[in-house]
């Protein structure tokens, strides 16, 4: 019986990296077998889940003690990079559409064409993304700010605080500020893949623009799925939930600006649901993420 239980514990411990197993595998296996009740032939559900989560935390670099400050810095870095990628991709797509218009003129007048301004802004955005990746946050803030000014000049007076992309660069700059003093922040695991999220968001935005207000439930669904992923992954890496919460603040600011510009009584039920969810999602993610980060920092 003991041999069967030991083999089953061994399979679960096989989820851990090889170097971790060499260093602590025998000790963990001995502890698990000694604490098991006599006659038991399989790990309990609680033990199995703890071992799986523990293996995931080791593989994402979250098994060691991490200060609350470092957790915040990692979340700020990823949130800033994600928002910046989203903004740069959106501005670049708009630049391509603007330059393809039939009324575009070459020569000196083209320099003040909105398409040209968007193109310059997208180039600055790419420079800012590269700067963030390389840890040069001051340069990233300068490039992103210059690009934001270009975008506002190109879209004035059509764009404003209630447009989807307005707050992305200002939030990016705010999130990068704490990193100026500690530029060496390493991210790992699922957290480093969060900047891919803008691909999904941009696709949803384009579909929403093409379909119209009836697409609102799909947008809400995407927001729910993203929030759910952050909450599910909370046991493995609380930085993911915190970064997602920071990213979704953009939606809160957009919805608040929209409500200010529009009478609340005139909003359809779907829009009211979207506004409510936009406010609740980041609060839940940041709240649970911060609570978990504090608990991990005390371990």
Q: Judge if pTM exceeds 0.85.
A: no
Find the mean pLDDT for residues 264-293.
75
Q: Indicate the pLDDT class of residue 23, thresholds 50, 70 and 90.
A: confident
Residue 164, pLDDT above cutoff 80 = no
Highest mean pLDDT pick, 42-46, 96-100, 130-134, 290-294: 130-134
Phi, psi torsion values for 100, nearest 5 degrees:
-85, -5
Q: What is the pLDDT of residues 52-64, one digit of tens each?
A: 888 877 777 665 5
Exposure on the CB side of residue 299, measured as CA atoms within 13 A = 11
The encoded tokens of residue 65 equal: 């003690």
Alpha-carbon gap, residue 135 to 180, rounded angstroms:
9
Per residue, the 3-state secondary structure of 6-35, as one string, reads HHHHHHHHCCCCHHHHHHHHHHHHHHHHHH
Q: Which of 231, 232, 207 is nearest to 219 (CA)?
A: 207
Q: Coil, helix or strand for 283?
A: helix
Alpha-carbon gap, residue 207 to 203, rounded angstroms:
6
C-alpha distances out from residue 29 to 8, 18, 194, Å:
10, 14, 34
Which of 18-32, 95-109, 188-202 shows the lowest per-residue confidence on average (mean pLDDT)?
95-109
The encoded tokens of residue 258 equal: 């929209």
Q: Coil, helix or strand for 98?
A: helix
The whole-number pLDDT of residue 257 equals 82
Residue 20, pLDDT above cutoff 70 = yes
The residue with greater pLDDT, 62 or 257, is 257
Find the mean pLDDT for residues 23-31.
82
Tell me what percent of the residues of the chain surpass a pLDDT of 90.
16
The whole-number pLDDT of residue 128 equals 95
How large is the C-alpha radius of gyration of the chain? 24
The residue with greater pLDDT, 20 or 283, is 283
The whole-number pLDDT of residue 109 equals 43
Q: Report angle CA 124, 129, 133 to the nearest 5 degrees.
A: 145
Q: Report angle CA 30, 33, 35 to the nearest 5 degrees.
A: 105
Do 83 and 125 touch, CB atoms closer than 8 A? no
Residue 289, pLDDT above cutoff 80 = yes
Mean pLDDT of the chain: 79
Find the mean pLDDT for residues 184-192.
70
Q: Report angle CA 294, 297, 299 to the nearest 5 degrees.
A: 115
Find the mean pLDDT for residues 135-156.
88
Phi, psi torsion values for 163, nearest 5 degrees:
-85, 150
Do 155 and 87 touch, CB atoms closer than 8 A? no
Q: Indicate the pLDDT class of residue 101, thresholds 50, 70 and 90.
A: low
The whole-number pLDDT of residue 14 equals 86
């Amino acid at each position: 019986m003991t041999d069967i239980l030991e083999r089953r514990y061994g399979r679960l411990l096989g989820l851990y990296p090889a170097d971790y197993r060499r260093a602590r595998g025998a000790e963990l296996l001995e502890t698990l077998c000694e604490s098991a009740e006599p006659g038991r032939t399989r790990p309990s559900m609680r033990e199995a889940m703890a071992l799986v989560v523990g293996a995931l935390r080791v593989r994402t670099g979250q098994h060691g003690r991490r200060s609350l400050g470092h957790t915040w810095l990692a979340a700020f870095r990823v949130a800033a990079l994600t928002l910046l990628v989203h903004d740069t991709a959106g501005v670049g797509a708009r630049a391509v559409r603007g330059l393809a218009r039939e009324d575009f003129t070459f020569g000196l007048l083209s320099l003040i064409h909105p398409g040209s301004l968007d193109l310059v802004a997208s180039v600055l955005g790419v420079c800012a993304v590269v700067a963030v990746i390389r840890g040069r946050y001051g340069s990233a803030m300068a490039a992103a700010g210059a690009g934001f000014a270009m975008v506002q000049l190109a879209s004035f007076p059509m764009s404003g605080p209630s447009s989807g992309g307005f707050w992305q660069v200002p939030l990016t700059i705010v999130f990068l500020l704490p990193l100026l003093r500690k530029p060496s922040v390493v991210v790992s695991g699922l957290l480093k893949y969060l900047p891919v999220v803008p691909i999904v968001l941009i696709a949803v935005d384009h579909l929403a623009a093409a379909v119209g207000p009836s697409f609102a439930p799909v947008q809400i669904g995407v927001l729910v799925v993203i929030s759910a992923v952050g909450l599910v992954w909370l046991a493995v890496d609380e930085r993911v939930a915190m970064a997602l919460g920071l990213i979704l603040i953009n939606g809160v600011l957009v919805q608040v600006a929209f409500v200010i510009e529009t009478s609340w009584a005139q909003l359809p039920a779907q829009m009211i649901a979207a506004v409510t969810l936009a406010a609740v999602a980041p609060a839940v993610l940041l709240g649970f993420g911060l609570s978990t980060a504090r608990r991990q920092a005390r371990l």
